[in-house]
Chain A
Amino acid sequence: MLKREHKVSNISSEAIFAIPAMKPSRVIFASIFCLFLMITDIRYESGSSIRSLSHDVLKPISNLIQLPVYISQTFKVFFSSRVQLEQRVQLLEEENLKLKATNQFMEMLSIDNSKLNYLWSSTNVDKERFLISKKNLLSPNEYQPLLVLDVGRRQSIKIDNAVISGQGLVGRINNIGFTTAEVMLVQDVRSSVPIISGETSLHAALGGKGLGRNGELKFIKKTANFSVGERIYTSGLGKTFPEGILVGEVASVIDPVDSMFLKVYVSFYSNPINQDYFLIDKYE
């Protein structure tokens, strides 16, 4: 056979002959099917129930993937040499000494602390209402980031429960599977959080602009006097989020000439990237 009659594959070094490509009719049919799915998902959120179940299916795999990390850490501790352990003990002893020194300065503060403890107990914060959950997955979708948490079985969490971290508000529960829960982050473009400013006590709705970006307060009149650095808390309006959770701080205030409203950008305190544990507030 003459070489010019065919092309030679880089993959298999074999001759390439006419292999029919996908039929365009099938591609069109598949595209129409996908468009139908997209429209139903946008309008009626048809995919949300299947979505949470799909994470349950993949959960054993994610656990399996974490197993080598766990084993390697255990081995590392087990086989660490005596010298290394002695160094570590010395380091800890030094740290302990520093802490003892710091404690001396804390005596005065402890008096105030006891008063604060009294205040804390008087507010009747039910610690049982919080559930600690571990992160399972964070999707790379910039505008609609998806955080999946392992919540275990038979947890009494509900859709719209607030999710918080040490830094502040993370988002709210969007879907619940058998052992996982999906969180709509405050950075999500679909998210809207009723907030109140710390100093000026102004109410507004905070919309997300995507992960890694500042949020924006919606429809702020030009008479409003937000200041840069001012802290933002949840207002509790609409009863989706409990009142008083820290959300972020005002990053910038812009007064556009061609608009009736101010552009107030808020930097979020919480960031789900490289963070493993979250609290679900089972507030109703």
Chain B
Amino acid sequence: MNRSFKNKSWIYLSLFLAVVIDLYFFPESILFWKPLLTLLVLIYWNMALPDKVGIFEALFFGLIMDLLNGSILGLHGILFVLITYICQRFFYQFRVSPIWQQSAILFFLFFIFKMAFSFDFFSSSTGFHVSDSSYITNAFIFAITSSLFWAPTFFILRELRRRKVKF
């Protein structure tokens, strides 16, 4: 089998697995706080192999998340693209920083990500939902859990990359 194809398959498999875990594995009691593994995995591959994983993957998996989560088609897509762009644009600074600093940066990115879903696109009620304090609390906890999951995701994927993905 072509080596490049094999490597790409591992990357796509990890992303697909993250989608499945996001959808089915976490208990419903933590529905609003569960970390978004798909985005974490995408950010990792973006940083580790910026020339191999880029805009297409971000867009593709963003649209998949839109379809499966019932959000507006394109919302996850645009957020995934912008976050991966930010991560790639500043990856010189990001890659060399310690893991806790990376988690702190991701905390802010995930908080902004979650807040983007609070906009009332359907004009179902007056004003924005941003003022909803319980939503902000949920977004805050979501950002914390996601940033806490960064370290294990990082080490697991690094191990996978060292063993299986060799371009």
List chain A positions with a Cβ less than 8 A from chain B: 7-12, 16, 19-22, 24, 26-27, 30-31, 33-38, 40-42, 46-47, 50-51, 54-55, 58, 61-62, 65, 137-146, 182, 189-190, 207, 209-213, 216, 273-274
Contact = CB atoms under 8 A, between A and B. Distances in A.
Contacts of A11: 47-48, 95, 154, 158, 161
A20 to B, nearest CB: 8
Nearest to B27: A274
Contacts, number: 163
Interface string B20-55: 100111001101101000000000000110110011
Nearest to A272: B28
A144 to B, nearest CB: 6
A213 B124 CA distance: 15
A51 B67 contact: yes
Interface stretch (B2-10, B75-83, B104-112): B75-83
A77 B137 CA distance: 41
A38 B74 contact: yes
A55 B68 contact: yes
Interface string B90-126: 0110011111000000000000000001101110110
Nearest to A208: B124
A11 B91 CA distance: 12
B68 A58 contact: yes
B99 A10 contact: yes
Nearest 7 CB-CB pairings of A with B: A146-B70, A37-B74, A47-B73, A34-B78, A34-B74, A38-B74, A41-B73
Contact of B135 (A7, A140, A142): A142
Given A27-B55, A207-B125, A9 B134 contact: no
Contacts of A7: 92, 95-96
A209 B74 contact: no
Contacts of A190: 122, 124
Contacts of B50: 19, 21
Nearest to B44: A11
Given A30-B77, A41-B74, A141-B117, 16 more contacts: A10-B96, A11-B48, A11-B161, A34-B59, A34-B78, A36-B74, A41-B72, A62-B23, A62-B24, A138-B28, A139-B68, A141-B69, A141-B70, A143-B129, A189-B120, A216-B125
B100 to A, nearest CB: 11
A24 B70 CA distance: 29
Contact of A207 (B20, B25, B124): B124
Residue among A27, A33, A58 with max Cβ neighbours from chain B (10 Å): A27
Given A10-B95, A38-B75, A65-B24, A140 B69 contact: yes
Contacts of B98: 10
Contact of A16 (B95, B135, B138, B154): B95
